[in-house]
Amino acid sequence: MHGVLPILMMMVMVMLTGCSNDDDYRAPYTPDTSCDFSFTYKDGTRGDVYIVQQHTKGSNGFPVVIMGDGFSQKDIDDGEYKEAVSNAIKALTMQKPMKDLVEYLDIYSVVVVSEESGIDYNKHNTAFKTYLESKENTNVIGDTTKIRIFTYCSLREDLNRFHNALTIMLLNSADYAGVTLMSIDTTVVDTIPQGWSLSFIPAYATVSNGENVFNELVLHEAVGHGIGKLGDEYWYNKPLQKQKEDTVFYKQSRKSGCLTNIKYFHNEETGSWDPKYIYKADNVEKYYIQRCVDAEDDILVPFANDSRYASEEHKWIQGGYTYITLTDSPCGKQYEYTDEKGKKKVIEPNKCKAIFYRSSNVSMMGDVVNYVDLQFNILSRLAIYKRINRVANGAGWKYDFETFAKFDKGESTTKSANTFKMPSTTKQRIIRESEKQLTRPKIILE
């Protein structure tokens, strides 16, 4: 039994009805034709569960439960919710490593009717009482206790399966928002984390230039945070003291296998300058450089020494876990810099400090608003691969570098390209105005 969850479950009266054979396998994205079973929550809310897919690889399967809030009976009858679920599954499995792990997934769609249609910045009469917290950030508020129990019931009250499940809550909204709740079992000391995850994602999320970013949010929130339990790789300019205050929580999370794509260095001056990482800091021609840290005696060593990964970044780059600190003091050294138009400039960048580092410049766990064609970097793919294999195959599964490398760089099981390469430059979106400040995942240590 894990944490206080069993007590919560015992307090809630749930009635399961109409159960059917769970062994009926359906291929991914196949439309559901009948409800597999239903349950009723203590307040009368009904959940109709459709088994979209059952695993064909692994002994257990990795459970993914998809629900929606703010979808009225009309929205459901018109097929809007079913289409949103289909889009979520496609986004979930559209990119490496997930597109090659899809057969390990058990996917459930739960139909829940809301009295009112739509989700916005006000509280409405919806099934899970979700609403967007602010126009200044991407946080979402909802009845997480009720969502926990709906997930638990959707998995036929199997606590072991719930403990490692991912719940995706699709919001009937086009606003740009999204956040993930990551429960971490701190009784586990391992490189592979355990604990339930919940990702809130607007089903029609759009940024200020009109582009839909739903796919990016599913990959970042549900796959990155929810499955891989990864840290954010974007950053905001914050005082160094604020970074230091957050190291205790970071270290606790790392002991349980989380945030493995982020590294903490006690000495913020560690590393050497690398002119590859020169960035324009603002609109007045100020520049700064992020320090690279040589990958020595850590998780990046096998990749740095393997020719199959020569085309990918595998250095620790300053800035991550939402933190960096820019100062007005120049570093005292000039660099020749070639800008995006091919013109050479000689600059003296401003100094920056950070004690949290990421392992690639641009990635899916970074800024998903300002860039397109984002992919997961090495450490993100590794964490996702480990987590799904451990949950789907049981505690006896052990990680092997060579097996992972062959999987990671081998022939893909889909029609997409069979190799992964982080683009040296990514296509940048043109945003008309500043977007909301991204919300870090809410981590619950249990």
Do residues 313 and 229 make contact, with C-beta atoms less than 8 angstroms apart?
no
The reported pLDDT for the residue numbered 120 is 96
pLDDT digits (tens, 9 = 90+) for 375-387: 999 999 999 999 9
| DSSP helix, strand, coil percent of the chain (3-state; round to 5) | 25, 25, 50
Distance (Å, whole) CA 409 – CA 96: 10
Q: Is 200 helix (H, G, I), strand (E, B) or coil?
A: strand
Distances from the Cα of 333 to the Cαs of 37, 206, 348, in angstroms?
Answer: 67, 42, 6
Which amino acid is residue 214, in one-letter code? F
Burial of 120 (0-12, 13-18, 19+ CB in 10 A): middle
Cα–Cα dist 152/351, whole Å = 50
| CB neighbours of residue 271 within 10 Å | 18
Q: Higher model confidence: residue 415 or residue 359?
A: 359
Average pLDDT over residues 318-344: 73
**Mean of pLDDT values over 206-210:** 91
- Assign 364 a pLDDT band (cuts: 50, 70, 90): very high
pLDDT at 47 over 90: yes
Mean pLDDT computed over 17-37: 51
Mean pLDDT of 439-446: 85
The Cα 116–Cα 124 span in angstroms is 7
pLDDT of residue 115 exceeding 80:
yes
Q: How far apart are CA 167 and CA 248, in angstroms?
A: 27
Residue 325 has pLDDT above 80, yes or no: no
Region for residue 115 given its phi and psi (left: phi exceeds 0; alpha: psi -120 to 50; beta: otherwise): alpha
The Cα–Cα gap between 11 and 275 comes to 59
pTM, entire model: 0.87
More confident residue, 248 or 98: 98
Nearest to 221 by CA among 104, 337, 140, 161: 140
DSSP letter, residue 256: T
- Does 253 or 420 have the greater pLDDT score? 253
pLDDT digits (tens, 9 = 90+) for 149-184: 999 999 999 999 999 999 999 999 999 999 999 998
What span, in angstroms and rounded, lies between the C-alpha atoms of 60 and 104?
8
Q: Is 9 a residue whose pLDDT tops 60?
A: no
How far is CA 340 from each of CA 133, 428, 430, rounded to the nearest angstrom? 37, 12, 15
- Rounded CA-CA distance 328/430 in Å is 28
Q: How far is 295 from 302, CA to CA, in rounded Å?
A: 9
Amino acid symbol at 100: D
The band of 1, judged by pLDDT with boundaries at 50, 70 and 90, is: very low
Residue 64 CA to residue 164 CA, distance in Å, equals: 9
pLDDT digits (tens, 9 = 90+) for 256-307: 899 999 988 776 655 566 666 666 655 556 666 666 766 666 788 899 889 9
